[in-house]
Amino acid sequence: MALKDAVKRRTHKERAQPAARRKYGLLEKKKDYLLRAKDFHKKEATIKNLRRKAEERNPDEFYFAMEKARTKDGVHQVATAEPNKYSQEQLRLMKTQDAGYLNFKAQTEKKKVERMQESLHMIGAPAGPRRHVVFVDEESEVKAFDPVKHFDTPAELLDRSYNRPTKAQLENAAAVSGGTAAASRVARAERRKVATYKELLQRTARQEALGGASQQVEYEKNVMAQHLEGFAAEGARSVSTLAVKLRMRSVGNIQKITKAMKMVAASKMRSAQANTMKARGIVAPFLRLLGDLPSAQGEKNVWVPITTDRGLCGGINTMVAKYVRTGMAALGAENNELVIIGEKGRSVMQRDMASKIYATIADTGKVKHTFPIACAVAEDILKTEYDVTRVIFNRFVSAIAQKPTIATVLSPDALEKEAEAGGAIDQYEIEGPDRPELLQDLAEFQLATTLFTAMLENNCSEQSSRMSAMENSTKNAGEMLGKLTLTYNRTRQAGITTELSEIISGATALEG
């Protein structure tokens, strides 16, 4: 036996690796007392600062989950979740409304996808035969016929039935643009085609997503219906009552909106009425000077109907359109053009007079009506080289009455002829070399003035008509709300009566 084996030695124990000792931190190093003291004092100072901040904290300061937490005795407590305030019948009705909305959006996307597919289905399709017919005299010419040489155009453009330039035109265009015009057009068309196909894919994916969401909502609604089978009669009464209540809420909200719009229109009408009364004094001198010529005719007649840019103002726009149609039919003039002021007039008159519309001037009601705006409109009308201009507008009579009116304005040439024929202006002596220029300035100023006063009159009529329309709407909403309230009470009382009769019948059966 060896001596080293006879001597008792300490049992060897392998020390853990640093990764295993990392959890002890500074405590693992027994002799590093200075680092341990610094770490202790740092943590002590941090805890002290946190306590001070907690004591001095602003109760309105943001902290996470503050909308769900409440402070009680200085301790934050998370509020318990409130139970669902809606019944199963109400939730099922909401699911039905959600499903209807999703189906509506899905059908809308489906129509858009179908329209895009119809517009894209011919891209890249081969051209059909017999696109062009060429007549020749002999059969040999038929065999030797070359469409590229005959039409003098590249083979890529033979399928076109229009906008088919010749080779010379293409060479000239390439020479002018340095040879980049054709390439840029091809690249632009390719980018447009790629963008259109991307949009088609996105709309198709959206349609599928809406369809899946609609099916999920329908499934949830059917599951809820299975849980309510035992309460069919009571559920039907509750849903009926809920539907009436929702209708009452909707009508009440509409009544508030119409009442507010009535008050706004009344306020605007007062200021518009004051401006209109001030501007009426400008028209009277022109009527004394030039006279009123409602039946004056010329080779070219321009009709200027003044309408509104917004709706909910009664039938004043319809009356203006009716006067335009009646006036055109009465005069029988063939050369008629329309310069429409107001977006609503364009939508009404383009149905049967679209070919006569020369221009449409919209959004004039978004700014205050001023004479420079009327002058700008008059400049557009002067470009038509008219003989007679007829301005149709609604003249303000009172808060409940508006009168459609036609104001006639002659061109400088027509005004000269009227003076020579012994018109109202002939009683004034206007002679000299400046007479043509004076008559031209007078006619242009009369046109601008007539437009300015007509726009003010129509604006005042619009506000008064809107005030009356909103007042009637508010009154009708109140009557409808009263009827719905009566229906709601009757339905609720009928349900209560039925339940009482069932309770009495059950009690009687138990006693007997």
Q: What pLDDT digit, counting tens, does each position of 80-112 carry?
A: 666 667 777 778 888 888 988 998 999 999 888
Residue 398 lies in a domain: yes
Confidence of residue 232 (pLDDT cuts 50, 70, 90): very low
pLDDT of residue 183: 61
Residue 286 or 116, more confident: 116
**Two structure tokens written together for 88:** 């199963």
**Residue 305 — φ and ψ, nearest 5°?**
-75, 130
Q: Answer whether 454's CB lies under 8 Å from 306's CB.
A: yes
| Predicted structure pTM score | 0.52
Return d(Cα 292, Cα 286) in angstroms, integer. Answer: 9
Q: In angstroms, how far is the first alpha carbon of the chain from the final one? A: 110
Taking residues 34-51, what's their average pLDDT? 89
**Two structure tokens written together for 434:** 């400046």
Residue 392 lies in a domain: yes
**Cα dihedral across residues 371, 372, 373, 377: positive or negative:** positive
Look at residue 199 and tell me whether its pLDDT is greater than 50. Answer: yes
Residue 270 lies in a domain: no
Q: Answer whether 296's CB lies under 8 Å from 408's CB.
A: yes
pLDDT of residue 263: 92
Instruction: Say if residue 189 is in the same domain as residue 237.
Output: no
**Cα dihedral across residues 223, 229, 230, 231: positive or negative:** positive
Residue 200 or 434, more confident: 200
Instruction: Say if residue 322 is in the same domain as residue 408.
Output: yes
pLDDT of residue 456: 92
Residues 6+ apart with CB under 8 A from 468: 314, 399, 400
Taking residues 465-489, what's their average pLDDT? 91
Return d(Cα 469, Cα 306) in angstroms, integer. Answer: 20
Alpha helices in 56-166 (DSSP H): 88-120, 139-143, 147-151
Q: Answer whether 396's CB lies under 8 Å from 461's CB.
A: yes
Instruction: Say if residue 345 is in the same domain as residue 488.
Output: no
Q: Domain ends where: 169, 203, 227? A: 227
Instruction: Say if residue 464 is in the same domain as residue 489.
Output: no
Instruction: Say if residue 221 is in the same domain as residue 356.
Output: no
Express as a percent the part of the chain with pLDDT over 70: 72
- Which pairs count as long-range contacts for 491-495, CB under 8 Å and 24+ apart, including other chains? 491/237, 491/240, 491/241, 491/244, 492/241, 494/237, 495/234, 495/237, 495/238, 495/241
Residue 252 lies in a domain: yes
Give tens-digit pLDDT for 315-348.
898 889 888 888 888 777 677 888 899 888 888 8
Integer CA distances (angstroms), 284 to 123, 378, 392, 401, 448, in order: 65, 20, 17, 22, 15
Query: Per DSSP, what are the bridge partners of residue 111?
Result: none
Range(s) of the domain holding residue 184: 88-120+148-227
pLDDT-wise least confident of 3-17, 26-40, 100-114:
3-17
Q: Look-up: residue for tokens 């309408």?
A: 307
Look at residue 303 and tell me whether its pLDDT is greater than 60. Answer: yes
pLDDT of residue 502: 82
**DSSP H helix total and E strand total for the chain:** 14, 7
**Two structure tokens written together for 165:** 């330039």
Q: Answer whether 316's CB lies under 8 Å from 462's CB.
A: yes
Residue 453 lies in a domain: yes
Instruction: Say if residue 155 is in the same domain as residue 251.
Output: no
Look at residue 385 and tell me whether its pLDDT is greater than 80. Answer: no
Write down the mean pLDDT value for the chain.
78
Closest CA to 220 of 334, 98, 313, 324: 98
Residue 243 or 179, more confident: 243
Return d(Cα 339, Cα 303) in angstroms, integer. Answer: 6
pLDDT of residue 43: 92
Residues 6+ apart with CB under 8 A from 150: 134
Give tens-digit pLDDT for 113-158.
888 877 665 454 444 554 567 777 777 877 788 887 887 877 766 6
Instruction: Say if residue 254 is in the same domain as residue 324.
Output: no
Instruction: Say if residue 469 is in the same domain as residue 494.
Output: no
Return d(Cα 371, Cα 442) in angstroms, integer. Answer: 16
Instruction: Say if residue 357 is in the same domain as residue 443.
Output: yes
Residue 252 or 387, more confident: 252
Interior CA angle at 329 toward 323 and 331, to 5°? 100
Taking residues 292-296, what's their average pLDDT? 59
Instruction: Say if residue 211 is in the same domain as residue 287.
Output: no
Query: Per DSSP, what are the bridge partners of residue 301?
Result: 336, 388
Look at residue 176 and tell me whether its pLDDT is greater than 60. Answer: no
Per the structure, the count of domains in the chain is 4
pLDDT of residue 47: 94
To the nearest 5 percent, what fractions of the chain are helix, strand and coil? 65, 10, 25
Instruction: Say if residue 313 is in the same domain as residue 450.
Output: yes
Q: Answer whether 384's CB lies under 8 Å from 395's CB.
A: no
Helix pair 435-511, 316-331: axis angle to 10 deg: 130
Look at residue 181 and tell me whether its pLDDT is greater than 60. Answer: no
Residue 18 lies in a domain: no
How many residues are recorded in the chain?
Answer: 512
pLDDT of residue 475: 92
pLDDT of residue 180: 58
Residue 5 lies in a domain: no
Q: Answer whether 302's CB lies under 8 Å from 337's CB.
A: yes
Q: Answer whether 465's CB lies under 8 Å from 316's CB.
A: yes
**Two structure tokens written together for 213:** 């969401």
pLDDT of residue 125: 45
Taking residues 257-284, what's their average pLDDT? 88
Return d(Cα 247, Cα 267) in angstroms, integer. Answer: 31
SS3 37: helix
pLDDT of residue 179: 54
Residue 182 lies in a domain: yes
Instruction: Say if residue 457 is in the same domain as residue 488.
Output: no
